[in-house]
Chains A and B, each alone.
Chain A
Amino acid sequence: MGGLGVHALDHAGTAGRPGSVVHRLDPRAKVVGLLGITLAAAVAPRGAWVVPAACLVALAGVAWWARVPATVVWRRARVVLPLVLLAAAVVPFVGGGPSVAVGPVHLSVEGLRTFGAVAAAATVGTLSAVLLTATTAFPDVLRALERLRVPRAFTLTCAFMYRYLFVLGEEVGRMRAALAARGFRPRTALGAAAVGRLATALFLRGHARGERVYLAMCARGFCGVMPAGAPGRLGRAEAGFLAALGALVVPVSVWAQVA
């Protein structure tokens, strides 16, 4: 399997102790709780470092509870985090106001603060997402979103994407292998033409598959509306989880906003 390396997605499944309290919670509680933490960090006033700190403590608690090893969190976070931080990395160089000299480079103090705030929020958001996916299978996240009234069109698109990413990835892998087997080694820009044709073939195959999938759905009684799934159950464990996260993050956030 090669191509897009889509099987990496497979390894991005659940981690830690599968039977832990956190793993067994209704996915809705985890989506709401971890999204809440991300929001708290994102809307915290600049300079109120106590808010992201409280969020990180809450996330560390969740990770410990679910026995998700720090190495797993780090391995997954480092895929996303550099991309997020890169966007904010230019701010200290272009910000106005007082500046500090770091060797030959002058960095804006205000810009550094902004970068710090963005970096803190991005870290909290990334870690929340990593912990959600480490403790909840992707189909369960989608079902949770559905039950939280996220539009069906969105969750269904995500579900199809998740399902067919693997199929398309395998197709890309086979096509690349077929190119390589016939000695294709792109050394110049002209090689891009073959890649372009590969993309075209992939698009056409994807389109044809889409039509066949639709026929297969109709064959099983699909009439344009997806049938609803099984309802979930929100109980004491979920309430306790949300209360614990809330107790850590809400008072600090409110204090930061008021102050």
Chain B
Amino acid sequence: MENEKNHIIPYKTFLYVLAGLIALTLTSVTLTQISLGAMTVTIALIIAAVKSSFVLSIFMHLKFENKMFSRAVIGVILLLSAVIAITLLDYLNR
């Protein structure tokens, strides 16, 4: 496509992100050994969300694409959040 801009991300950035993802994975695994009660799932989800945002923005180039794609992804995240929130209406009130 003529109008598309090509964004070349330096390898160094990829390596930093990879290191970050590995560190966060190790953190997740470590946290499973510690009893944090109800916060266990919350923290695990936060870490997973941070990892996903790295993958989406850097590896999948969302950071450099048309804003429409970012909005679409945000819409999907909101939808998924609503689905999880409604599911929790069951789990938190049993």
To the question of whether A and B form a pair in one complex, the answer is: no
